[in-house]
Amino acid sequence: MDMQHLTYEYARRGACLLIIARRENLLKKVAENARKLGSPDVVPICADVLKVHDCKRFVEESVNHFGRCNLFDFNSRKSLMNLFSVDVLVNNAGIGSMCLIEDVTDITKLAPVMDVNFWGSIYPTFFAIPYLKRTKGSIFVNASSAAISHPPAFGIYSASKAALLGFYETMRVELAPEISITTATLGIIESEMTKGKHLSKEGTTQVNSDLANAYANQLPVMSSSACAKAIVDAIRRKERNVTEPKWYRFLFLLKTLCPELIEWGNRRYYLKIKAWSQDHSHATISK
């Protein structure tokens, strides 16, 4: 789920935005578009949610600018927002990884997946909690259907998202009743990841559309704009969970009632991926 679409959905609803990104060009583009869509106040800040001091700084800057801790939206380490009088921390930091564990030669190269997907949400949450308690706000975290369905080739990614669910389920207990928490278990949503952007087994960020088509895009892909609308609606209603596309709920029910069936499907999927991986490896060697 890309940052831009969540940003624009909030902008259409009149949100004031404090946008965070590491890439200045992206910040300027998103901020300009958000203003055109109706946001009355857009403040771009260059920051990295993996740097603790950056997280502390932009939470404090948001409080100073808006007078209180309003709405934050972090997507791929990029964004921060304010929505009306509702205070919501939206954690959407994420990076994909698509590789079979048997193809990995240095497991430490995949450590950034856990860092971005887990700590990239925990750090901002930690610093925002005191302010959200005062305003009886909400926290949103973008997990993934992979945290429940455990598809092959997404082992580290699935683990990082499952860790998010575990942490925020605990926070749901510790922070109630002052702060409500909404988790998202999203399926295949139009994003940079579905276009092939991922952390490779060598530890470098790459874009490979053939890999995405073979590993991730085997099911219908939901549009980012439709998903963003569903997420914002769920946050405003302070729902416990949002699942998109909605048919994934049936998949989760099957996982609970008949886990062997899901495992059988994943096994067939694994064999297909393994064959593609071997063919790709041979093609690379022959070049």
Contact yes or no for 74/124 (Cβ under 8 A): yes
Residues facing 73 on adjacent strands: 90
Contact yes or no for 132/182 (Cβ under 8 A): no
For residue 260 the two structure tokens come to: 């062997």
- Please give the C-alpha separations between residue 12 and each of 19, 24, 177, 244, in angstroms, as whole numbers: 15, 23, 30, 21
Handedness of CA 141, 147, 152, 156 (dihedral sign): positive
What is the model's pLDDT at position 281? 59
CB atoms within 10 A of CB 171: 17
Which one-letter amino acid corresponds to residue 246?
Answer: K
Sort 45 into a burial class: Cβ within 10 Å, 0-12 / 13-18 / 19+: middle
SS3 229: helix
10-residue averages of pLDDT along the chain (287 residues): 85 86 87 94 89 92 70 40 56 86 90 94 94 90 93 93 96 96 92 74 75 66 91 94 94 93 91 79 41
- The CA distance from 156 to 97, in Å, is 7
What is the model's pLDDT at position 217? 57
CATH of domain 3-286: 3.40.50.720
Give the angle subtended at the CA of 121 by the CAs of 51 and 7, to the nearest 5°: 100
- Please give the C-alpha separations between residue 279 and each of 117, 282, 283, 285, 286, in angstroms, as whole numbers: 30, 5, 6, 10, 11
Q: Count the helices and strands in the chain (H runs, E runs).
A: 11, 10
For residue 202 the two structure tokens come to: 């060598």
Query: What's the chain's Rg over C-alpha atoms?
Result: 19
SS3 71: coil
* Catalytic residue set: 157
- DSSP one-letter string for 109-174: GGHHHHIIIIIHHHHHHHHHHHHHHHHT-EEEEE--THHHH--TT-HHHHHHHHHHHHHHHHHHHH
Cα atoms in the 13 Å half-sphere on the side-chain side of 117: 26
Q: Is the peptide bond before 177 cis (omega within 30 degrees of 0)?
A: yes
Residues facing 89 on adjacent strands: 72, 139
